[in-house]
Amino acid sequence: MDTTSPRDFEPDPSELALCSSLTDFADAYGSDKGSIKHNYTRWYEHYLAHLKGEFFSLAEIGVACGSSLKMWSTYFPNATIDGFDIRHETKGLAAGYPNINITVSDCTKAQFENLYDVIIDDGSHVSADILDAFNLQFSRLKPGGFYFIEDTFCTFNPRYPALLPFDVPKERFDRTWYITLVDALLRDLDSNPKSVIESINFHPQLAVIKRKRDDHQ
């Protein structure tokens, strides 16, 4: 989780002009999704590059400084980008990006009003929060859509609880909450002919769940 106070950073336009890949844009905006830290963008491009130029909707749980929202907005100029965060100070970020909207909301307690083609959980990374958010929001994912869970290392990093700027009951950090979700998804995928899950993929610190395109639900 990025505990930095929200800061509306804008790169030099000349730097953006040199960007072509999603990683380029992530690095230009200072997002940790690129080569600065996690290298998630190579996987995001793998799964989502076919949407470039398309009209679709993306929701990201966790806004921080808004850097990844701006990255998505620039790389996918025709997309609708909705960010959700519990901090009220994030509301004024990315005001110059017409396809970005930020809502102050706890996504472990309040369900999205809209449906999305892509949902990204880059929220608290607390194990129980990951489970609660998924149980609320997966039904808001459109058929054929992708649900991403970032920073899964935090579910078993013993130093992570001390990094959070707010109090969380100790038991909610237990990795069992995340493992319960993964096990339930795998069991459903393996044994339920009517499962809405098409595939589950795991990459370093990143889980990717794809919903069937024709699940009729």
**What percent of the chain is modeled with pLDDT above 70?**
96
* Chain segment 11-48, per-residue pLDDT in tens: 899 999 999 999 999 999 999 999 999 999 999 999 99
Residue 18 confidence (pLDDT): 93
Looking at the chain, the whole-number percentage of residues with pLDDT higher than 90 is: 84
Q: What is the pLDDT of residues 51-84, one digit of tens each?
A: 999 999 999 999 989 999 999 999 999 999 999 9
pLDDT at 107 over 90: yes
Instruction: Confirm or reject CATH 2.60.40.10 for domain 54-211, answering yes or no.
Output: no
Report whether 181 contacts 131 (CB < 8 A).
Answer: yes
DSSP the chain: ---SPP------HHHHHT--SHHHHHHHHT-TTSTTTT--HHHHHHHHGGGTTS--EEEEE--TTSHHHHHHHHHSTTSEEEEEES-GGGTTTTTT-TTEEEEE--TTTS--SS-EEEEEE-S---HHHHHHHHHHHGGGEEEEEEEEEE-GGGGT-TTGGGG-SS---GGGG-THHHHHHHHHHHHHHHH-TT-SEEEEEEETTEEEEEE-TT---
Per-residue CA distances from 215 to 49, 55, 140, 147 (Å): 23, 21, 13, 15
List pLDDT tens digits, range 110-140. 999 999 999 999 999 999 999 999 999 999 9
Dist CA 204 CA 136 (whole Å)? 25
- pLDDT value, residue 1: 46
**Separation between Cα atoms, residue 73 and residue 25, nearest integer Å:** 10
pLDDT value for 92: 87
